[in-house]
Each structure stands twice: as C-alpha cells, then as structure tokens.
C-alpha cells in the first residue's frame, strides 16, 4: 500500500442545515446570488444558484451555546466586509473579514474588547461609508463603542448607558453624518454625537410620550429616522428632531423594519408584513399591502433586501427564512380560507412566501439518519418535526 493511500483525508465541512435567529442581524444578502447567515458556531455563505456553501468558523468553535458563540453580525456589501462579534469565556471579540472571492476570505483584524466588562457584543453596524463600526456591549456595563476601521482602533467608549431591565437591541449611524448615532431598545432610546474625540449623549424631546419597547429602527433617507414600537407605531425623526408618529393601524407589535426605494417594510406577529410607500405632503406614508404567512404564529424578527430589491427575506423567531417577491408587492393578494380549500391537500406551499433554503428545526435535534443509496438525510427534534 502506498504512503498516499494510507494517509486518511481530513474531514471538511461541506454543508450546514440550520439557522440561528437569536443573533443580531442573522441574515444578509451579499449580492443577488449569495446570502450570509448564522448557524451554530459558523457564519455560512450560501450560493442560492448551485447550493454550495463556504464558512467562517467562530474563534470559539466547539464551545457550548449560548454561553459562548456568535452574538452579532454586520456586512458592508460594496467592499465585501464582514464583522462578526463573539461571546467568549473571558472577553468579547469582534473579527473583521474581507471576502476576496466566493471561496477565499482574509481576516483583517480581531478586536479584543478588554475595556468593557461585558463578555458579549449585542449589536454591530457599519457606517454608510464603512469607515466606522458601531458596537454595543451587553450587561453589566452596557457600553457604546465607536471603532474607526481605517485606523484600526477604538476611538470612543461610553459606559453604563442603560440597565439590564432596559436592554439595547441595536444601534446605527446617521447615513449622512457619522458623528450622529442612535441606539434603541426596551424602553430606551438614546442619541449620541461625536464631538471633540468624545461620544456625548444628546437630549431629545418627544413631549409627554411614555417610554415603550422600541423594537427596531432604520433610516429612510440621509436624516429621516424611522423607529418601530410595540404599539405598531412608527416614530419619525429628522436627525435628532422628533417630527411625529405614523400609525400603521396594525393591532400587534412590529419587530423589524427596513426601508427600500419606495418606502418601508415592517415585520410583525403571525408571519405578517406591512408595506408602505412614501406619500405626499398631506400623507407622509400610505399602505401598499399587508400579507401574512399561512398558519403562522411566529414573529418576523429580521428583514433583508438584495441590491435589486426584487425580493425580501423574512426571518422568523422559529428559525425559518422565507422570501417574498417585493417587486410585485402591489398586486400580490392574501390567500384566504377559500384558496386553501381549492388547493391540493398535499400542497402546503404558500403562494406568496417561499422558503429560501429548507425548513429548519427550532429546538434540539434528537435523531438523524442517512440514506446509503441516495443523498437523503432525515432528522427529528424536540419541535416535533421531521
């Protein structure tokens, strides 16, 4: 037997089935044909056309979840930049990668967040020009970190910005002004300005409004900020100036919001999305459509768009990922009970929402088997699905 034949080949990861919806910003379009999402201790880059995958393994690969692992992700598609935050046993870390090709990547920097007490970063966000990266640390000191990517250093940290009963969810830069930052969360909404090498809180006034759960936010223009709430209202700011409230007239909470060229989209309870377009001076926004997934009780906690805006990805808190044809949103119709009666009983597919990959488990997997003659894999889990 030759030496080459006697040496066993190392096992290589070929494909991952699964999705982690509990990560901040867990799913993104890199371009029209490639998506990036979190699964286990890895970030998966999935080719939609040929179904191949490449992986960025976490630095703490092999440790138990959720005590350690990936906590937040952000990307900057024009420069193929990826930021990945991880919770470790000692310190929170942020790794910056540059994708050189579909199969090659280069790690540009590892940031050890030793200046904060928290072991995890709960949110990451690049500025609109990718020169800066905003990171929000978790308990106990809830720090805001402003990292200057081109110089490779943290330029500002401000600590003790909230408490564990009022946690931050996410933060972002104003698209037209990297010196303006907003952070939102449960009964906490704060603006910051970068002045004279310091990050300073900026006071805002919203009248007599009570604090609520500010579930998500996004920027609709260079300075117009949209903040979604648990009451299905959209708070509208021009920079730091409060302009008013837009009532979506929806009866449940909004959990995610994203803007597109015509307006904005909200992800809500029961697999429902609300789509609004910009109006005139009298009516700032008006509803384009409302669509719900069939027999779905879970919430849409994350939304993502490719550059073309042909489709929109909807991520649910039970680890499922669906796509919807956004280019045809004005003519799509909600399926009714009569539509279900006309369907083939074996056809469970939703005419509007399609799985972008495959159905995933949302609880632990208890068993699996592999077909010898064909490439079939079957799993079962605590979620009572096969």
Task: Please answer whether residues 346 and 326 qualify as being in contact, where contact means their C-beta atoms are separated by less than 8 angstroms.
Answer: no
Answer yes or no: is 275 within a domain: yes
Q: Are strands 132-137 and 144-148 parallel, antiparallel or unpaired?
A: antiparallel
Reported as a pLDDT band with limits 50, 70 and 90, residue 35 is very high
Torsion of CA 225, 228, 233, 236, to 10 degrees: -10
Total number of domains constituting the chain = 1
Q: Is the pLDDT of residue 346 over 60?
A: no
Q: Is the pLDDT of residue 240 over 50?
A: yes
* Interval 16-32 mean pLDDT: 93
Min mean pLDDT across 103-117, 245-259, 263-277 is at 103-117
Answer yes or no: is 237 within a domain: yes
Reported as a pLDDT band with limits 50, 70 and 90, residue 348 is low
Percent with pLDDT over 70 in the chain: 92
Task: For residue 37, give every residue at least 6 positions away whose Cβ sits within 8 Å of its Cβ, in sequence order, or none.
Answer: 19, 20, 26, 27, 28, 43, 44, 46, 321
- DSSP-derived letter for residue 11 is P
- DSSP-derived letter for residue 186 is B
At 134 the pLDDT is 97
Domain that holds residue 237: 204-360
Answer yes or no: is 59 within a domain: no
- Rounded CA separation 189/162 (Å): 10
11 by Cβ neighbours in 10 Å (0-12 / 13-18 / 19+) ranks as exposed
Q: Which residue has the higher pLDDT, 306 or 3?
A: 306
Q: Which helix (H) or strand (E) holds 3?
A: helix 3-6
- Rounded CA separation 94/59 (Å): 10
Q: Is the pLDDT of residue 59 over 50?
A: yes
Classify each residue of 312-329 as buried b or exposed e, where b means 16 or more C-beta atoms within 10 Å of its C-beta.
bbbbbebbbbbbbebeeb
Task: Please answer whether residues 285 and 277 qualify as being in contact, where contact means their C-beta atoms are separated by less than 8 angstroms.
Answer: yes
Min mean pLDDT across 63-77, 85-99, 191-205 is at 63-77
Largest CA-CA distance found in the chain, in angstroms, rounded: 83
Reported as a pLDDT band with limits 50, 70 and 90, residue 66 is low
Answer yes or no: is 290 within a domain: yes
Answer yes or no: is 295 within a domain: yes
CATH of the domain at 316: 2.130.10.10
Q: Is the pLDDT of residue 54 over 80?
A: yes
Pick from 179, 195, 180, 235: nearest CA to 211: 235
At 6 the pLDDT is 67
Reported as a pLDDT band with limits 50, 70 and 90, residue 17 is confident
Answer yes or no: is 120 within a domain: no
At 340 the pLDDT is 46
* Interval 303-327 mean pLDDT: 94
Q: Is the pLDDT of residue 345 over 50?
A: no
Answer yes or no: is 270 within a domain: yes
Min mean pLDDT across 81-90, 98-107, 359-368 is at 98-107
Q: Which of 136-150, 193-207, 283-297 has the highest mean pLDDT?
A: 136-150
At 358 the pLDDT is 84
Answer yes or no: is 100 within a domain: no
């Amino acid at each position: 037997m030759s030496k080459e034949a006697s040496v066993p080949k190392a096992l290589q990861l070929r494909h991952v089935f699964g999705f982690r919806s509990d990560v901040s910003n867990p799913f993104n379009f890199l371009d029209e044909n490639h998506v990036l999402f979190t699964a286990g201790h890895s970030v998966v880059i999935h080719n939609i056309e040929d179904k191949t995958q490449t992986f960025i393994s976490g630095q703490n690969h092999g440790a138990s979840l959720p005590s350690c692992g990936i906590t937040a992700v952000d990307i900057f598609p024009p420069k193929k930049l990826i930021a990945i935050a991880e919770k470790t046993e000692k310190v929170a870390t942020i790794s910056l990668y540059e994708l050189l090709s579909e199969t090659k990547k280069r790690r540009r920097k590892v940031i050890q967040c030793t200046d904060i007490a928290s072991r995890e970063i709960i949110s990451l966000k690049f500025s609109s020009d990718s020169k800066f990266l905003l990171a929000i640390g978790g308990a106990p000191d809830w720090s805001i970190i402003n990292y200057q990517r081109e110089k490779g250093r943290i330029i500002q940290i401000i600590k003790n910005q909230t408490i564990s009963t009022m946690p931050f969810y996410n933060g972002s830069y104003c698209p037209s002004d990297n010196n303006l930052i907003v952070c939102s969360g449960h009964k906490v909404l704060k603006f910051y300005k970068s002045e004279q090498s310091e990050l300073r809180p900026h006071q805002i006034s919203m009248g007599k409004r009570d604090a609520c759960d500010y579930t998500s936010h996004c920027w609709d223009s260079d300075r117009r900020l949209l903040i979604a709430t648990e009451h299905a209202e959209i708070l509208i700011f021009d920079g730091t100036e409060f302009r008013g409230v837009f009532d979506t007239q929806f009866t449940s909470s909004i959990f995610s919001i994203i803007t597109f060229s015509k307006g904005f989209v909200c992800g809500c309870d029961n697999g429902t999305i609300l789509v609004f377009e910009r109006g005139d001076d009298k009516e700032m926004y008006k509803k384009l459509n409302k669509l719900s997934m069939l027999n779905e009780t879970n919430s849409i906690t994350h939304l993502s768009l490719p550059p073309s805006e042909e489709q929109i990805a909807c991520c649910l808190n039970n680890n499922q990922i669906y796509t919807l044809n956004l280019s045809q949103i004005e003519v799509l119709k909600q399926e009714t009970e009569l539509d279900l009666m006309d369907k083939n009983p074996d056809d469970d597919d939703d005419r509007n929402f399609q799985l972008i990959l495959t159905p995933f488990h949302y609880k632990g997997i208890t068993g699996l088997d592999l077909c010898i003659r064909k490439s079939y894999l079957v799993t079962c889990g605590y979620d009572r699905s096969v």
